[in-house]
Chain A
């Protein structure tokens, strides 16, 4: 095996350029003759636009063009599309128009009303302040509760009661019957707090139009440039793919927020042909807070029925999910197919019902954010299991063990549509408990008590459905796209390799991981491999990176393409060595003829493919360049157990995480160091949700947490050193046996932290703390108890 192959903790190839400031991000791109755009945005959560007067602004220095919603509407172009149609109990979801520039109404603070294009960003900003928009402010519904109240302000006329859909999974009568026979029922009310994604790099775009070729080019901060090309080209601007190139260069973090097709991308592309000059826009941080799609925002009531031994009989979950003011690209599927289908967790709960009401509010649209639905599901399941354990006096670890899907039960059909492919939940639980010294907790709690501190420990045995997704399955559930992946392996004449992938790396380390797989398979040096992503003009096609899919789906496309390369190379090698194709073996970059000492190197075969002098030219085309599209057979199911231990200072309410142990099963692992980094980052985001991050709108729909002065991002000193380890049950249905690791930490951690907080505070009579469990909230709860 080559030293940098599968399983090696290779240092990331891309990091040198990142840490020396040589990354090329969208804002680093400057095109000749470039102009700058600034968007005029609504300061109101809800208002009627009486008029937009651009006269004074247009006369200001440096202004090139000002375009309004009326200008856009006059051209008969499309609105921003939604990529997933959920069908509820009463029919398809309500799908209101989403104009890229508001025409007569604004529906959230930050909604874009006009764009000012000028020679410099400063001139554009000056002129944007001079655009006179006459708003007639209207009452706003800024929360789920406010939007569902009788007489609530309506976000869209076509959505009475602000309901987007009322959806359910499972047979409620069946579940009610299970509850009727219960020994004990545990009930919890939960809020899954709204989060602002806060990628380090703000969104940005540069658009230009070439009058000679009639080609548009859009550089944008995207996790999936082909998806943007498809949505913007086919649905919004009606531009054919061959005249629309979308490039997502280096991207500084996405966490889901850069999956979606945003108005700024379409407006810049549309305007670029009007001004016949390139246009750049980069969001200011304050703008990111009010325009990047937010995450989570659920309110849930859940009930778990148990028998006398603590075996789960049934689960009922009633959730209301905030969609925000418009449907973002994949918003409808997040609280349904990425959420309710995970409510079996790691358990054999036989009967499950979940109802979800999706609600429009006068807030920024809500969509997928690291984990997307699965953190919300894990939070429900693991909070209610932990609560049930406390209520029944059963050790929380033991209660989980009694209900685990056994290791010999795979493939396992859950009552909520999914078929779990593999796993060993006892194994990850045992490893996590050992790493956390679970058995020594009582002594540590007593010691903490002697110092006046309240100590708690909490478990989270999570599962996720990743490797998104089998196209036919998601198609039947309302997805308006396939979710396969594409990879092209181009072997060059001298044996070096370029891999073109439809996935996109914005922090995941694909340039290293994919190179390791190629090094392993072809026996080439890792530095002889270049990974290319993020450009629709270079890569055949791609659905991008989200849902922990890059390795499980994109890596599988790579494996299939490598199979094709190997098959063809073997035929060339057989010809060169005058042997039968079936006798050729390929190991460590050498083709050999079984039972002989004949061999030929991979480089010689590559050269022969491109210099076909001695070549089976009548049977085989020259060249060594293979493409594969891979559509997964099933989701993958990473799972594991995280254990968090905390101390509360009862005088101030401050929480300190004193220990955090994670044991994860991601299937086979290509680069353990990258996996560890992904887990660390995910846990920190999960801790952020549990203890720190809370997006707050006031009753008028103004964002009260619109900057880092008020929105608490997790910092290094908020978390301890983590103990992370992996257990492996390979994925049985993809060629690499991999499951994905990018979202696990963010999915598992919130429940682990909050279970620990409740464990610490329970003895003081506190039964409910919502996320984020800030010192003020904890102090108040302790005082009220």
Chain B
């Protein structure tokens, strides 16, 4: 990697100040994407601001029917939290299938959603559950947060502090992993909430999105059969050496049906 200045932030305000001061500073949460990028010399930041020491960003709180996960909470903590498992088991299950044990013990929810990899799992969880992203400046609805491939609504220097998930009536996440990377080729998060049914898809397109036709079908009849014959429209889906757009479109339907079935079975999904 190229040389850079490493700075360890003591607080969110400190991190924001240091990020603003750096010529080309980057914030580092778990570093699961940033560090490989640096090692391959694909990025050349002036400063790396490490959020690892900011205690106020860590932790899980459940209150008033909502789960709030601090931005620097590692995936393993979410996966193994009894509170999360009780309130939103599908979220714990999703976190438990991100990457491998090493990634789950370094990677964080704030880092994952700020990076917004098109095949990451958390974006589907946030959009599927209608979560709210809290930053050091404001609150952003998940539907508005994920803007495009590796793009979010975050302004320059804005720092995610937490994510607030309302508990659904039922929810499940089904992922069909890329055999090599084990990122999602397609991941579908289905939730039945007070505000309606939500179907969020990751991996298939350039950014997480909602399958509104499936949502409408499930509003009428929340059963796997309601989705029979339904697939995503293949037009704008990703295509690579692992999966064609048609295959991804088909898998969206399969994973959605399985997620709905898992909701009915009371399971958290897989």
Contact = CB atoms under 8 A, between A and B. Distances in A.
Interface of A: 125-126, 129, 286, 651-654, 692, 696, 704-705, 708-713, 774-776, 779-780
B179 A709 contact: no
Nearest to A718: B179
Given A652-B176, A710-B242, A712-B179, A776 B254 contact: no
Contacts of A692: 179-180
Contact of A711 (B180, B247, B250): B180
Contact of A710 (B2, B40, B180, B247): B180
B175 to A, nearest CB: 11
Contact of B180 (A129, A712, A780): A712
B242 A779 contact: no
A708 B243 contact: no
Nearest to A653: B247
10 contacts: A652-B176, A652-B254, A692-B180, A705-B180, A705-B241, A712-B179, A712-B180, A776-B243, A776-B247, A779-B250
Contacts of B180: 692, 705, 708-713
Given A652-B176, A652-B251, A709-B181, A776 B40 contact: no
Interface string B246-260: 010011001000000
A692 B40 CA distance: 25
A704 B241 contact: yes
A780 B244 contact: yes
A776 B242 contact: yes
Given A652-B251, A780-B247, A774 B181 contact: no
A621 B251 CA distance: 78
Contacts of B2: 126
Contacts of A129: 41
- Indicate the member of A652, A653, A704 with the most B CB atoms within 10 Å: A652
Nearest to A286: B40
B234 to A, nearest CB: 13
Contacts of A708: 180-181
Nearest to A714: B179
Question: 9 nearest interchain CB pairs?
Answer: A712-B180, A709-B181, A712-B179, A651-B254, A776-B243, A776-B247, A710-B180, A696-B241, A704-B241
A775 B179 contact: yes
Contacts of B179: 692, 712, 774-775
A709 B2 CA distance: 23
Interface string B22-63: 000000000000000000110000000000000000000000
A705 B240 CA distance: 11
A710 B180 CA distance: 5
Interface in B134-186: 176, 179-181
A283 to B, nearest CB: 14
- Indicate the member of A774, A776, A780 with the most B CB atoms within 10 Å: A776
- Indicate the member of A696, A712, A713 with the most B CB atoms within 10 Å: A712
A710 B176 CA distance: 15
A774 B247 CA distance: 12
- Indicate the member of A651, A692, A705 with the most B CB atoms within 10 Å: A651
Interface in B79-103: none
A710 B254 contact: no
A711 B176 CA distance: 17
A651 B254 CA distance: 7
A692 B180 CA distance: 8
- Indicate the member of B40, B41, B241, B244 with the most A CB atoms within 10 Å: B241
A316 B242 CA distance: 34
A40 to B, nearest CB: 14
Contacts of A125: 41
A776 B244 contact: yes
Contacts of A780: 244, 247
A57 to B, nearest CB: 15
Interface string B100-144: 000000000000000000000000000000000000000000000
B4 to A, nearest CB: 13
Nearest to A708: B180
A211 B181 CA distance: 49
A125 B40 CA distance: 11
B241 A779 contact: no
Contacts of A776: 242-244, 247
Given A708-B180, A710-B181, A776-B244, 9 more contacts: A651-B254, A692-B179, A692-B180, A704-B241, A705-B241, A710-B180, A710-B241, A774-B179, A776-B247
B181 A779 contact: no
Contacts of A705: 180, 241
A397 to B, nearest CB: 31
Nearest to A777: B247
Nearest to B1: A122
B97 to A, nearest CB: 12
A774 B251 CA distance: 14
Contacts of A710: 180-181, 241-242
Contacts of B41: 125, 129
Nearest to B182: A715
Contacts of A651: 254
Nearest to A129: B41
Contacts of A286: 40
B130 to A, nearest CB: 28
Contacts of A711: 180
Contacts of A654: 176
Contacts of B181: 708-710
B237 to A, nearest CB: 13
A343 B268 CA distance: 51
Nearest to A125: B41
Nearest to A774: B179
A711 B181 CA distance: 8
A566 B244 CA distance: 67
B241 to A, nearest CB: 5
B40 A779 contact: no
Contacts of B251: 652
A541 B250 CA distance: 60
Contacts of A709: 180-181
- Indicate the member of B2, B176, B180, B241 with the most A CB atoms within 10 Å: B180
A55 B186 CA distance: 49
A126 B1 CA distance: 9
Nearest to B251: A652
A223 to B, nearest CB: 27
A774 B40 contact: no
A774 B243 CA distance: 10
Nearest to B180: A712
